[in-house]
């Protein structure tokens, strides 16, 4: 076998030509979206006022294995893909572990994360349908940035509702989006009916993703030529993100490597769903014996402490109901939570896989996450995003277990992005001002009590 280089690159020709639909391999399919009024499965016609036609087809298709990547998207991907799979030799050495650690780095584009993989696809289908523009929400700002880039590439208008607390704390994120021509509004705002209602009920609220989604959907459905797009959670987003996993598997195959453990951080589940797609398929088919671990913040623990139930995707309760591991659509993580991954629910695909026992989940507190981030940055030379650092933390934990047992396991984790816009959080950590907040059972129960009855 060849010696494994520090970075395994694929050539442009080796980049996968189609996205892989993990649902096609699942014995138990993810539960369908339900109409919030009738509680019947949503039909394509009912979704059409909200989403682009081609994306609806992708959303509802549980059977097609591969979706060819259109040339326009493929060519755009070539600007920043294939992304490197890095062997973390220096981290292994620092830990003194016999484990082989690899990370797939998705931070090599201006949005600083994997989100551009789906943003460009969604903008493409909106353009192809002849739309004028799209609306969306953004929390920390990576998705809004990615979508702004994609929309400017295809000449689409882009209206972003940005969670107010981030809008105020991350003014430079906003400036990047404006550089790409996006119109950015802090949410909740007075520009929508739902925003006015939320502000009336909760004056001074700093907002949440659930609120921002409701505002973005309202604007999309009430403005001719507009549709709404979402950066995570949905099946279509996991489909686009499968490029991460397909490239990872192709790169490992070059050196005859197979992962024993695949680890990813999980907010809405898109990077993890993409990273694990081919590995989970092989696991389901009995071709690969590997553990798959989702890592989430202890302050927003949807898989590890949530319930598996139909819930609203947004605060305004205008979106379809999705069956998922959820903390309840009213759940708002503590304001001292710094590291993204704040959505109340989890992709229904990942929720089903978790419920079927095919995937594990772990929650970690943020001070441990930043410790791991710093340890990683000092040896591997990349300033990781706090979200990504959840995966780093568990990769380090697993590598240290290998040190105890002497096993040379192959660990692969997703390094979803860079942390340049998260330096206020790093500063808090360095100054000793960061604390860990874990919601109590009572906190969670209050939120569970508001779940819709289906």
Q: Which residues bind ligand PLP (CB under 6 A)?
A: 113, 115, 142, 232, 265-271, 340-341, 385, 387-388, 416-417
Closer residue to ligand PLP (CB): 106 or 398 = 106
Exposure letters 98-129 (e unless 16+ CB within 10 A, then b): ebbbbbbbbbbbebbbbbbbbbbbbbbbbbee
The answer to whether 410 and 99 are in contact (CB under 8 A) is yes
Could you tell me the smallest distance in angstroms from the CB atom of residue 422 to ligand PLP? 9
Closer residue to ligand PLP (CB): 328 or 340 = 340
The answer to whether 267 and 404 are in contact (CB under 8 A) is no
- Report the candidate in 290, 265, 247 with the shortest Cα–Cα distance to residue 340: 265
Nearest position to ligand PLP, beta carbon: 417
The span from the CA of 198 to the CA of 10, in Å, is 48
Other beta carbons less than 10 A from residue 208's beta carbon: 28
On the 0-12 / 13-18 / 19+ scale of CB atoms within 10 A, 405 is exposed
Other beta carbons less than 10 A from residue 251's beta carbon: 23
Closer residue to ligand PLP (CB): 97 or 187 = 187
Per-residue DSSP letters for 82-124?
SPPEEE-HHHHHHHT-SSEEEEEE---STT-BTTHHHHHHHHH
Closer residue to ligand PLP (CB): 30 or 402 = 30
State residue 101 phi and psi, 5-degree precision: -110, 130
Could you tell me the smallest distance in angstroms from the CB atom of residue 266 to ligand PLP? 5
The answer to whether 286 and 26 are in contact (CB under 8 A) is no
Closer residue to ligand PLP (CB): 16 or 267 = 267
Closer residue to ligand PLP (CB): 272 or 434 = 272
Q: Which residue carries 């294995």 as its tokens? A: 65
Closer residue to ligand PLP (CB): 131 or 353 = 353
Could you tell me the smallest distance in angstroms from the CB atom of residue 412 to ligand PLP? 16
DSSP 13: G
Q: How many residues does the chain have?
A: 454
Omega prior to 82 cis, within 30 of 0: yes
Beta bridge partners of 410: 100
Omega prior to 196 cis, within 30 of 0: no
Closer residue to ligand PLP (CB): 91 or 415 = 415
Could you tell me the smallest distance in angstroms from the CB atom of residue 18 to ligand PLP? 21
Closer residue to ligand PLP (CB): 88 or 391 = 391
Closer residue to ligand PLP (CB): 15 or 265 = 265
The span from the CA of 77 to the CA of 87, in Å, is 23
Closer residue to ligand PLP (CB): 87 or 173 = 173
State residue 183 phi and psi, 5-degree precision: -100, 115
Residues ≥6 apart with Cβ < 8 Å to 425: 338, 339, 370, 386, 419, 434
């Amino acid at each position: 076998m060849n010696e494994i280089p520090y970075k395994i690159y694929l050539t442009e020709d080796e980049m996968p030509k189609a996205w892989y639909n993990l649902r096609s391999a699942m014995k138990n399919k993810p539960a369908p979206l339900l109409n919030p009024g009738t509680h019947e499965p949503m039909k394509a016609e009912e979704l059409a006022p909200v989403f682009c036609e081609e994306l609806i087809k992708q959303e509802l298709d549980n059977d097609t294995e591969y979706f060819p990547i259109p040339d326009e998207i493929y060519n755009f991907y070539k600007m920043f893909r294939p992304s490197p799979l890095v062997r973390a030799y220096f981290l292994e050495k620092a830990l003194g572990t016999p484990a082989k650690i690899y990370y797939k780095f998705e931070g090599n584009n201006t949005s600083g994360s994997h989100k551009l993989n789906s943003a460009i696809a969604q903008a493409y289908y909106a353009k192809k349908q002849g739309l004028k523009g799209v609306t969306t929400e953004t929390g920390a700002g990576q998705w809004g940035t990615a979508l702004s880039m994609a929309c400017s590439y295809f000449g689409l208008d882009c209206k972003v509702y940005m969670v107010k607390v981030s809008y105020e704390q991350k003014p430079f994120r906003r400036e990047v989006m404006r550089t790409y021509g996006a119109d950015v509004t802090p949410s909740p705002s007075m520009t929508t009916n739902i925003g006015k209602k939320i502000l009336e009920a909760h004056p001074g609220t700093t907002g949440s993703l659930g609120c921002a989604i409701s505002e973005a959907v309202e604007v999309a459905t009430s403005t001719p030529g507009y549709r709404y797009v979402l950066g995570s959670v949905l099946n279509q987003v996991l489909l686009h993100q499968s490029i991460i996993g397909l490239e990872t598997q192709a790169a490992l195959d070059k050196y005859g490597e197979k992962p024993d453990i695949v680890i990813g951080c999980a907010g809405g589940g898109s990077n993890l769903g993409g990273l694990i797609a081919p590995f989970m398929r092989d696991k389901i088919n009995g071709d690969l014996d590997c553990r798959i671990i989702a890592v989430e913040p202890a302050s927003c623990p949807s898989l590890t402490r949530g319930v598996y139930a139909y819930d609203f995707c947004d605060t305004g309760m205008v979106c379809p109901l999705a069956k998922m591991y959820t903390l309840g659509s009213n759940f708002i993580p503590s304001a001292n939570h710094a590291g993204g991954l704040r959505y109340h629910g989890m992709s229904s695909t990942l929720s089903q896989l978790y419920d079927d026992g095919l995937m594990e989940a772990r929650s970690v507190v943020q001070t441990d996450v930043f410790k791991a981030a710093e340890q990683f940055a000092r040896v591997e030379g990349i300033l990781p995003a706090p979200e990504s650092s959840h995966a780093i933390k568990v990769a380090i934990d697993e590598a240290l277990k290998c040190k105890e047992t002497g096993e040379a396991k192959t660990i692969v984790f997703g390094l979803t992005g860079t942390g340049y816009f998260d330096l206020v959080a790093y500063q808090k950590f360095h100054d000793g001002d960061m604390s860990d907040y874990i919601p109590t059972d009572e906190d969670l129960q209050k939120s569970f009590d508001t779940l819709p009855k289906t």
